[in-house]
Structure 1
Amino acid sequence: MSDSEFPLVQFMREGFDPVGELARIRAEHPVHPMEIPGGQTVFLVTRWEDVRGVLGDHERFSNDFAGIIGLGSNQDDPGGLGFRDPPEHTRLRKYLTPEFTMRRLRRLEPRIEAMVEEYLDKMEARGGVVDLVEAFALPIPSLVVCELLGVPYDDRADFLKLSTDRFDFTAGPEASLQAINDAMAYMTDLVARERLNPGDGLLGQLLREHGDDLDDRTLASMADGLLTGGHDTSTSMLALGTLWLLRNPEVAAKVREVDGYVNDVVEELLRYMTVVQVAFPRFAREDLELHGHQIKKGEMVLCSLAGANRDPSLGPDMDEVKPGRETAGSHLAFGHGIHRCIGAPLAQMEMRIAFPALLRRFPDLHVAGEVPFRELAIVYGVKELPVAW
């Protein structure tokens, strides 16, 4: 494989692990140039220190995809905060930050616990072989986002479908773009309804406190960014994490029996799985140099989060799960810098509640069939996870 090829290696896995080629690139080519269709060059960064450096440097790297390729201002671009630069990013994030403090999020904790118990009840009532993705891992994060935003109860079944396929490359780019457009259309309509009659959720709160500063399109884009960041990612982590725990019964037993142990397990599984395999693309704001490579203004840099989180520089045996391990630096599963996932505390809360509850309800839970993994997906996961008890 030559350095000029674009093999999509950054999106490929073998079970839980990134393909071996990614480790080779990380070891031999800290900045790896790859040619994409159209003759453009993209630079893949895979080492922890370099990925952290790029993600933390908003002075030299831009997230404004729309502005770079000439689609207009980032006001018109879906994706929430992920595709925006300061000062607009700073202005919008300050509205959301207070809503994602642990003090504010604790008000959702009883509702998340109730949702988890409700869907465990449904699983138990069905019996037999159950697809854990469809029955548990998929609905819980979606309903949590619904609860957070204040989505009306009657809309929740449709809301559940909005982001299922948007990250799956196998359906083709047109299908993904259509899914994004459908989600944005729904969010824009929801914001318009909330503006007329603000509810108790995040959208209603933002409209009551900052409605004059946030137009409908901007607020819909922010809500879509929360859906993007909080639904498919958490679904994948719940499913992959459960699969790993079922294959490692000693750890599962400790999660079931020892209060608080799940906290260490969740953090290590986040690092190990790194379901968001690649961060939002960065674009050079100026001509610059990285590890001897000349990167021109406007050229794209891709940061492999999966590669960075397995970097041997963090410590020994990074291809293994060791709850409570000490590393040379914190994991990058939620990104880094001003664009670090704002919903990280909520995602962690979901997993800390869901894993022990699932394992305690079904102490003899086991995999009951073949587990197909996603292929070439930005957000890695399983297509289904058949289980029985």
Structure 2
Amino acid sequence: MAERKIGIIMNGVTGRMGTNQHLVRSIVAIRNQGGVQLNNGDTIMPDPILIGRNESKLKALADKYEVERWSTDLESALNDSYNEIYFDSQTTVRRAESIKQAIAKGKHIYCEKPTATSVEGSIELARLAQEAGVKNGVVQDKLFLPGLLKLKRLIDSGFFGEMLSVRMEFGYWVFEGDWQPAQRPSWNYRKEDGGGIIVDMFAHWRYVIDNLFGNVKSVSCIGKTHIPERIDEEGERYQATADDAAYATFELDNGVVVQANSSWAVRVNRDDLLTIQVDGTHGSAVAGLRDCKVQHRVNTPKPTWNPDIENPFNFEEQWEEVPSNQEYDNGFKVQWELFLKHIVLDEAFPWDLFEGAKGTQLSDLGLQSWEERRWVDVPDIKA
């Protein structure tokens, strides 16, 4: 049994997502389990070098998680042939330029989304990687959530019959930062720093919708900045210049209609921070991050509209839980393992930079729809 070490440049790991999901729950977890196990008994062992601008934060992370290599010098890390993969979880406004540098050095690319600040920039990255012949992938983590995997199982089994509509509700109350600290960084609320919920969440909704329900054909979107002033990490007031809520409808090429509400200014009265209800001729399902419940047509109650009497139904009790039937690992970690196998074994990895560009495209078109107050068609992106 052989161990294949693979050097990974991890840029932007001092941020919340980079630290928690990519470093701790993915790369460190893979190292702690003994690497990625292959069918022939060999293992892939990721060997990260942590890259960032804050030396003290990098050192603290490296010491805490027993990572030997860290540096503030991205260029030196890119010049080291031992490092085969470049990973980027920086803020969006910094991402594209660093990815271009990594492509020019022949590194394989794995990155968070949005991959760039515009669809043109995202397509440029995809084509540069294609021309350079480097393998590439984009994080599309929600496809690996237990709730969505259960939903995919229902779709593949034909449970819904003809799928009719999808309702997606996402969000929670992000505190303004005065009497309670905010749960999200202040740049999320500044358009000039790449913030905004449309830019953030439509990249997710694109791959969720495309992979589960059908290809997005057109979009209608209204955005809002419900909380115009917030308090930043230093306790200073600032103007929120980016949208903190979006109310969108997507028409799919198969006729399915998807409604998606996204908000950082909503209080949760549902089963989870994200719930997806799918209705079909033969049955319906509601999926959260981990759970999924269903109602088949033979179990569907028959209510009638009568506001003059007490409601005779407890509707929530009339749904059945979909069993797990398997163990679910962290979705970020699962996709990291698939990407590492893609690099070493050339196994299929369909979530490339062109797929990432589709997410940026939908964000751009959602913003255009809001600005022009109209439906906007979604053209194909050609690889």
Shorter-chain TM band:
under 0.3
Higher relative contact order (CA 8 A, sep 6+): 1
Larger Rg: 2
Q: Point out the structure with the larger helix share.
A: 1
Greater fraction strand: 2
Structure-1-length-normalised TM-score: 0.28
TM-score, length basis structure 2: 0.28
